[in-house]
Structures are given as C-alpha cells and as structure tokens.
C-alpha cells in the first residue's frame, strides 16, 4: 500500500503496475487513514517529518520496520530506521543512518 498527495502519480503507478500495488491519494497523517489499511510490516516515508510521527509507529506490526527522514524543514534530516519489537512489550528501537535532504512531509491541514 502506498499513499501519495498527488492523484496524478497514483494514476501513473496503477497503470504501470496494475496488480502489484495498492495506491491511495491522501495524507497519511490525517486521522483514520493509516488505521484503515494497517498495520504494516514495513513503511517507507518519502518525505521528511519534523518529528517521528507517532501514528506511523503505532501502525507498524510487531517485528515491523519503518525508514523515514526526520528533521527540520529546509535543512538536513537524519534517515532513521525504526524497528518495532515482537512480543508483549513491542519495544521500539531507532537507528540513525546518515544525513539526507527530503521535501517536507505535509500535515493534513497544509494541503498538497
């Protein structure tokens, strides 16, 4: 499953990979969006979040992994790997890989 803020991109990907992907237009941080299709084994975020979005961590399955750039807009961010442990505790560990520069992850009220 993938989310994009650009409906045109959704159309292109669906045409090129009709049976491989489930593509939805919308904001992954909007209330109820992740919960509708989650939880997920893996999440890749292609835009930088100011802070680690709790909603995305909550939607990782036990044993799941997320890769996400985190840091301030218009500056360098850190590419982070977030792993959710298995079992009753579901401990979350975060590993910082390296500095990157991504476009900002928009909040639901910001639009596209």
pLDDT at 108: 62
Report whether pLDDT(10) > 60.
no
Beta bridge partners of 65: 42, 83
Distance between CA atoms of residues 4 and 45, nearest Å: 10
Contact 53, 66 (CB under 8 A): no
Q: Does pTM top 0.75 for this prediction? A: no
pLDDT at 105: 82
* Whether 66 contacts 74, CB under 8 Å: no
Rounded distance between C-alpha atoms, residue 60 and residue 83, angstroms: 8
Residue 1: per-residue pLDDT: 45
Q: How far is CA 103 from CA 18, 37, 40, 52, 79, in A?
A: 27, 25, 23, 15, 13
Q: What are phi and psi of 33, to 5 degrees?
A: -70, -55
| Mean pLDDT, residues 10-39 | 62
Tell me the pLDDT of the chain averaged across its residues. 77
Q: Which of 97, 86, 2, 104 is nearest to 43 (CA)?
A: 2
How much is the pLDDT for 12?
Answer: 59
**CB atoms < 10 A from the CB of 80, how many?**
19
Instruction: Average the pLDDT over 64-70 and give the result.
Output: 92
């Amino acid at each position: 499953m993938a989310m994009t803020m650009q409906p045109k991109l959704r159309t292109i990907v669906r045409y090129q990979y009709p049976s491989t992907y489930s593509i939805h237009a919308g904001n992954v941080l909007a209330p109820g969006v992740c919960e509708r299709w989650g939880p997920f084994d893996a999440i890749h975020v292609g835009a930088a979040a100011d802070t680690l979005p709790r909603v995305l961590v909550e939607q990782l399955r036990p044993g799941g992994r997320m890769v996400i750039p985190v840091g301030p807009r218009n500056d360098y961010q850190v590419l982070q790997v977030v792993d959710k442990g298995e079992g009753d505790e579901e401990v979350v560990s975060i590993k910082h890989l390296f500095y990157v520069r991504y476009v900002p992850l928009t909040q639901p009220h910001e639009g596209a």
